[in-house]
Amino acid sequence: MSYQNVIPAQLALTPLTTTIATLYTVPTNTRTFVKDINICNTTGSAVSVSVYFVPSGSSYGTANAFLLSYSIAANTTYHWTGSQILLSSQTIQGLASATGCTIIIGGGEAS
């Protein structure tokens, strides 16, 4: 498969909860390019956030942590830009130490 057709996409726009949740799953026969991640803390206190890029058939943990217990100050936004490639059926999972954070993930899908 050549993966020459790349379509820009908003991969996730969701609040983080205190329980691990799947934020995005790479579709079958697709590769996903993660370009940026924004996490907005709308609370009056710092919140720790963890984000994982989990291989298909695996569980989240330190072996696939992208951000691990990263503290985001009150009323601020964490912004990451770079490039990460996820393969078919991989997931992005995340959680926060408290409610009040929203995560937005942008990139593209190639099929």
Residue owning tokens 């996730």? 12
Per-residue pLDDT reduced to its tens digit, 4-23: 788 999 999 999 999 999 99
Total domains, the chain: 1
In a domain, 76, yes or no: yes
Domain span including residue 65? 6-110
Contact at 8 Å (CB) between 92 and 14? no
Provide the percentage of residues in the chain whose pLDDT is more than 90: 94
In a domain, 1, yes or no: no
In a domain, 45, yes or no: yes
We report the CATH number of the domain holding residue 68 as: 2.60.120.340
Distance CA(98)–CA(62), nearest Å, equals 20
Residue 44 DSSP one-character state: S
Cα 22 to Cα 58, 66, 93, distances in angstroms? 13, 14, 4
pLDDT of amino acid 5: 82
Per-residue pLDDT reduced to its tens digit, 62-94: 999 999 999 999 999 999 999 999 999 999 999
